């Protein structure tokens, strides 16, 4: 541990209770993407009280705090703020009972099922410690609270609203995510971290008829079934086993009556990949397969293929990740390790890409260590440990928050500490 890290983190004991209270408050009051008005207001209020220059309402609900402290590097730390349309089933005393209207006009339950409340709390904790410990560092700290990560459009919204003109170019950009690992764990890796994600809607066209007269139809239900099976061969037979990728057909809709063959069927797909070449190969293969199956079924026209959303891959700058890994191991000891590839996806990389800034993203654990150890001994981690987006995903408050605050602080001070000069 460097003297700067030791000095700044010495204040953690005095703010821990306030950070925990804030976390519980955020968890109990989740908000959907681009509707994070309450969360953003609390973030902005605290940053201003600690001496940050605050710009809010960037891209709708985004907040940026700027803390200049003499000459030196500029470091950007980011947290995402939005929650998910999930009904909480954790049974926690601070569980969410919130409901909201989503973008389609439906009333939905809302829950912080992905841990963004952890991210906001940890970044605010780090921001306060850095503001209190200015004697230990030099440079500029930028803290960015991003909306609508779950929808994949929050980073783009902030950029479209002139983020790169409102913030000095960072020398490095950092973010972290709470994941289903033991609380206290910190893991980083050079190169690919989160996968790219593409969500597609495919409409297959047929010819409707009475269920008793299939010879008069071109059955899109059968066509859809053939496509589902065929699509599963893309990853298993067209992508190398050493190149991770996932293709999931998550939705299939056709017809409304058992005795009516419909005119069309709709598939919705999710594709995960880590390299641009593999991503392009899979997307091309999807188009080829569904068009070929449609032609083989004598469909009256080619399928419609619509991109619903796309997330870029998150790939860590190798030099930055190696340097950060050393800093984490020095501070956290055996709790720091090289993390494996993550099949989740993120949109944050659009922001450092727009600045031309190196990015490094890492994971922290949020699961009770004893619960995780028991599941690991039994070989049932996949079955017994709740994962992000689950209605029972509930990071333990500690040591999760302390670890997240410390990790952000260690990362910032690796570049900003006076003893680095």
Same domain, residue pair 249 and 291: yes
CATH number of residue 291's parent domain: 3.30.70.360
> Which residue, of 265, 290, 311, is where some domain finishes?
311
For residue 418, the model assigns a pLDDT of 87
User: Mind listing the pLDDT tens digit of every residue in the chain (421 residues)?
Assistant: 689 999 999 999 999 999 999 999 999 999 999 999 999 999 999 999 999 999 999 999 999 999 999 999 999 999 999 999 999 999 999 999 999 999 999 999 999 999 999 999 999 999 999 999 999 999 999 999 999 999 999 999 999 999 999 999 999 999 999 999 999 999 999 999 999 999 999 999 999 999 999 999 999 999 999 999 999 999 999 999 999 999 999 999 999 999 999 999 999 999 999 999 999 999 999 999 999 999 999 999 999 999 999 999 999 999 999 999 999 999 999 999 999 999 999 999 999 999 999 999 999 999 999 999 999 999 999 999 999 999 999 999 999 999 999 999 999 999 999 865 4
For residue 162, the model assigns a pLDDT of 98
Domain count for the chain = 2
Per-residue 3-state assignment (H helix, E strand, C coil) for the chain: CCHHHHHHHCCHHHHHHHHHHHHHHHHHCCCCCCCCHHHHHHHHHHHHHCCCEEEEEECCCEEEEEEEECCCCEEEEEEECCCECCCCCCCCCCCCCCEEECCCCCEEECECCCCHHHHHHHHHHHHHHHHHCHHHECEEEEEEEECCCCCCCHHHHHHHCCHHHHCCCCCEEEEEEEEEEECCCEEECCEEEECEEEEEEEEEECECEECCCHHHCECHHHHHHHHHHHHHHHHHHHCCCCCCEEEEEEEEEECCCCCEECCEEEEEEEEEECCHHHHHHHHHHHHHHHHHHHHHCCCCCCCEEEEEEEECCEEECHHHHHHHHHHHHHHHHHHEEECCCECCCCCCCHHHHHHCCCEEEEEEEEECHHHHHHHHHHCCHHHHCCCCCCCCCCCCCCCHHHHHHHHHHHHHHHHHEHHHC
CATH number of residue 126's parent domain: 3.40.630.10
Find the domain containing 207 and state its range. 196-311
Name the nearest CA neighbour of 183 among 402, 23, 421: 402
Which is it for strands 336-338 and 186-188: parallel, antiparallel or unpaired?
A: parallel
Same domain, residue pair 40 and 95: yes
> Which residue, of 311, 337, 355, is where some domain finishes?
311
Same domain, residue pair 57 and 174: yes
Same domain, residue pair 117 and 211: no
Same domain, residue pair 252 and 294: yes
Same domain, residue pair 44 and 180: yes
Same domain, residue pair 75 and 177: yes
> Which residue, of 311, 335, 369, is where some domain finishes?
311
> What phi and psi, each to the nearest 5 degrees, are found at residue 97?
-120, 15
Same domain, residue pair 227 and 144: no
For residue 419, the model assigns a pLDDT of 67
């Amino acid at each position: 541990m460097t003297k700067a890290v030791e000095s700044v983190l010495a204040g953690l004991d005095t703010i821990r209770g306030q950070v925990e209270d804030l976390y519980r408050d955020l968890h109990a009051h989740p908000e959907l993407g681009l509707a994070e008005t309450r969360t953003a207001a609390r973030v902005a209020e605290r940053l201003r009280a600690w001496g940050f220059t605050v710009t809010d309402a960037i891209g709708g609900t985004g907040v940026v705090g700027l803390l200049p402290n003499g000459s030196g590097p500029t470091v950007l730390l980011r947290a995402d703020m939005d929650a998910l349309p999930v009904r909480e089933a954790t049974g926690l005393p601070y569980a969410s009972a919130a409901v909201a209207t989503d973008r389609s006009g439906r009333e939905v339950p809302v829950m912080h099922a992905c841990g963004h409340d952890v991210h906001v709390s940890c970044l605010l904790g780090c921001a306060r410690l850095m503001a209190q410990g200015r004697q230990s560092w030099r440079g500029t700290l930028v803290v960015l609270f991003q909306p609508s990560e779950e929808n994949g459009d929050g980073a783009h919204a902030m950029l479209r609203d002139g983020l790169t003109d409102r913030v000095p170019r960072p020398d490095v950009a950092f973010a972290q995510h709470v994941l289903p690992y033991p609380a206290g764990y910190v893991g980083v890796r050079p190169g690919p971290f989160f996968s790219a994600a593409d969500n597609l809607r495919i409409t297959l066209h047929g010819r409707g008829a009475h269920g008793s007269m299939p010879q008069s139809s071109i059955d899109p239900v059968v066509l859809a079934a053939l496509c589902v099976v065929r699509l599963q061969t893309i990853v298993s037979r067209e992508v190398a086993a050493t190149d991770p990728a996932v293709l999931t057909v998550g939705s299939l809709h056709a017809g409304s009556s058992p005795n009516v063959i419909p005119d069309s069927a709709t598939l919705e797909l999710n594709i995960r990949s880590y390299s641009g070449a593999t991503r392009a190969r899979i997307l091309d293969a999807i188009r080829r397969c569904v068009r070929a199956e449609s032609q083989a079924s004598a469909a009256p026209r080619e399928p419609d293929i619509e991109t619903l959303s796309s997330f870029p891959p998150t790939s860590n700058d190798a030099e930055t990740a190696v340097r950060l890994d050393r800093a984490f191991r020095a501070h956290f000891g055996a709790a720091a390790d090289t993390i494996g590839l993550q099949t989740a996806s993120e949109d944050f990389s659009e922001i450092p890409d727009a600045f031309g800034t190196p990015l490094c993203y890492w994971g922290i654990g949020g699961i009770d260590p004893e619960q995780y150890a028991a599941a690991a001994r039994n070989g049932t981690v996949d079955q017994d440990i709740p994962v992000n987006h689950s209605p029972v995903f509930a990071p333990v408050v500690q040591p999760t928050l302390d670890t997240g605050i410390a990790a952000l602080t260690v990362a910032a001070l690796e570049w900003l500490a006076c003893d680095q000069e």
